[in-house]
Amino acid sequence: MPLLGIDVGTSSLKVVIASESGEILGEGVSEYPVSRPCSGWTEQDPELWWGALVLAVPQALAAASLRASDIRAVGLSGQMHGSVLLSRATVESRGVQGATIRPALLWNDQRTASQCERIESVVGGRRALVELVGNAALTGFTLPKLLWVREHEPELAARIASFMLPKDYIGFRLTGVCATDVGDASGTLLLDPEARAWSDRVLGLFGVEREILPSLHESGEVIGVITRWAAEQLGLNPDTPVIAGSGDNQAGAIGAGIVGTGQVLATLGTSGVIYAHADRPRRDAGETRSSTGRLHTMCAADGTKSQPGSWSLTGCMLSAAGSLQWARDTIAPGVPFDRLIDEASSVEPCARGLLFMPHLAGERCPYPDPAARGAWIGLTARHTRAHLIRAVIEGITMTMAQILDIVRGAGVEVRSVRLGGGGARSRFWRELQADLYGVPVATTNTEQGPAFGAAMLAGVGIGVWPDVASAASVCVHESERIEPEPVRAQRYSPAREAFAGLHAGLQDTFRSLGDIDRESQA
Ligand code: ADP
């Protein structure tokens, strides 16, 4: 019973066809550009995503040696937070027309700093906002984007008949229905994650009309069926069910089998993400502004029509394996990562008293500080390239471990951590993660991420499996498990202690260095 999962990424759209035993039968991918009309702005025309889907589906079918009519259900996932704005005419076309009012502002668009400040102050501060919607106001989130369009493009804002997220646009073109899921909606600042419903309070405070919001669903719920028009475009069967799915982080967690108490996914890609399953909507609400909203409280993608799902806590460091990539390109150009990591593993833990702060692109978690910068601290003439690289890998992992500690501090149990991203390819780095996280770590058989999670949700939606946990037990298996090694872990304790105090001590210096940097460019 082939299931099709779609992931609307930032640089490409991926399609996966999976069997009911979780085997990948075929994949397709089609790329598109991000436009940057001004510094800090990132936009994409949603029609590019549809065009990419039309190219990627036949690729996946050909790779799987399947006919389009073999596909039983379609699941959606994609980049979160983007603002897709549809006019009345487009909504009324039921997906046949795809023109949007303006290009979507993407998750990494930075233009909304003043809207974010206003949102927190109107609501009564960051902590009050976290209590209401589970999240601080970050420039990437969707409500600030809506406010920006209203302020700067009022004539366009007046034409908004429907607002939705990137993967929902694909759902709209497939089914003609304006719908989203509670997980992706958690990234809008408009959803009360505890109630799994739009927040009347926030809608009222910011004058967002309920009529423009998509209908809300659990991730494993059918939102509609493929229309005759969409079926002709893609060669799929009309009336094939389309399942709500979720944002890429939540769908990726399903694809990695993060569906139960104590389970966490740590992804060391360009950025580093800790995603923890939570049985209750736990919030990161500390005593001070800087210890509030470092983590995101979101609905998890494990709900079905008959059973509401649970929640997640997510923390993101901006430059994780990206820091290693920078270090490699700068001090060891052309050296393969495997060789570089062998070199680093040949020197002693804590790199002879050398620490590395990996905040090369500012930081979001564990310190929400856009002015944070990177640093090697403790250099001596005895340090070699191997020490520098070892310190980079340790600094990234210590930062991920700090995020995990914030998750624990918010009351979420951490029993084991599954590993993803490029960093998980190295045995040395997997062992280091076990030691610094203090729990067993494991890799899994699934590497397809969100698109695979979306295919699993498609199966749940049509009853291939009764729920998401059953889907995960069939489709996702641990391929290697590493226990932490207490004696080895102990050797890092003094360095971790020193590392924990670095940011507070250097915060002002980072700000001054940023000023110097800007002045020198002026
Ligand atoms: P992206 O976020 O761009 O999808 P990936 O998850 O593919 O990134 O991770 C790429 C990063 O993983 C590289 O920048 C590098 O730091 C790291 N990496 C790549 N290969 C290895 C390896 N064999 N061992 C450890 N780390 C690796």
pTM, two decimals, is: 0.95
Cα of 447 from ligand 1 centre, angstroms: 13
pLDDT in tens, 71-104: 999 999 999 999 999 999 999 999 999 999 999 9
**Is 269 touching ligand 1 by the criterion CB < 6 Å?**
yes
**Is 321 touching ligand 1 by the criterion CB < 6 Å?**
yes
**Is 356 touching ligand 1 by the criterion CB < 6 Å?**
no
Write down the pLDDT at residue 199: 98
**Is 421 touching ligand 1 by the criterion CB < 6 Å?**
yes
Q: Considering only CA atoms, which residue is closest to atom 9 of ligand 1?
A: 422
Cα of 437 from ligand 1 centre, angstroms: 20
End-to-end alpha carbon distance in the chain: 60
Q: Which residues pair with 96 in a beta bridge?
A: none
For the chain, residues with pLDDT lower than 70 are: none
Q: Considering only CA atoms, which residue is closest to atom 4 of ligand 1?
A: 269
Is 240 in contact with 258 (CB distance < 8 Å)? Answer: no
**Is 337 touching ligand 1 by the criterion CB < 6 Å?**
yes
Q: What is the 3-state secondary structure (H, E, C) of 280-324?
A: CCCCCECCCHHHECCCEEEECCCCCCCCCCCEEEEEEECCCHHHH
Q: Ligand 1, residue 328: give the atom nearest the CA.
A: 16
Cα of 198 from ligand 1 centre, angstroms: 37
pLDDT in tens, 266-276: 999 989 999 99
Cα of 422 from ligand 1 centre, angstroms: 3
Q: How would you classify residue 281: left for phi > 0, otherwise alpha for psi between -120 and 50, otherwise beta?
A: beta
Cα of 515 from ligand 1 centre, angstroms: 32
**Is 338 touching ligand 1 by the criterion CB < 6 Å?**
yes
- With a CB cutoff of 8 Å and minimum separation 6, the contacts of 3 are 17, 18, 19, 20, 71, 72, 73, 74, 75, 455, 456, 458, 459, 464
**Is 270 touching ligand 1 by the criterion CB < 6 Å?**
yes
Which segments within 368-502 are labelled E, that is strand?
Answer: 375-377, 416-420, 441-444, 478-482
Structure tokens at 25: 């039968």
Q: Ligand 1, residue 426: give the atom nearest the CA.
A: 24
**Is 358 touching ligand 1 by the criterion CB < 6 Å?**
no
Write down the pLDDT at residue 472: 97
Please identify which of the residues 248, 284, 302, 435 carries the catalytic annotation.
248
Write down the pLDDT at residue 446: 85
Write down the pLDDT at residue 290: 87
- With a CB cutoff of 8 Å and minimum separation 6, the contacts of 440 are 416, 417, 434, 481, 482, 483, 484
**DSSP labels, 376-406:** EES--TT--HHHHHHHHHHHHHHHHHHHHHH
Q: Considering only CA atoms, which residue is closest to atom 11 of ligand 1?
A: 422
Write down the pLDDT at residue 447: 78
Cα of 425 from ligand 1 centre, angstroms: 8
Q: Considering only CA atoms, which residue is closest to atom 16 of ligand 1?
A: 321
Active-site residue, 248 included = yes
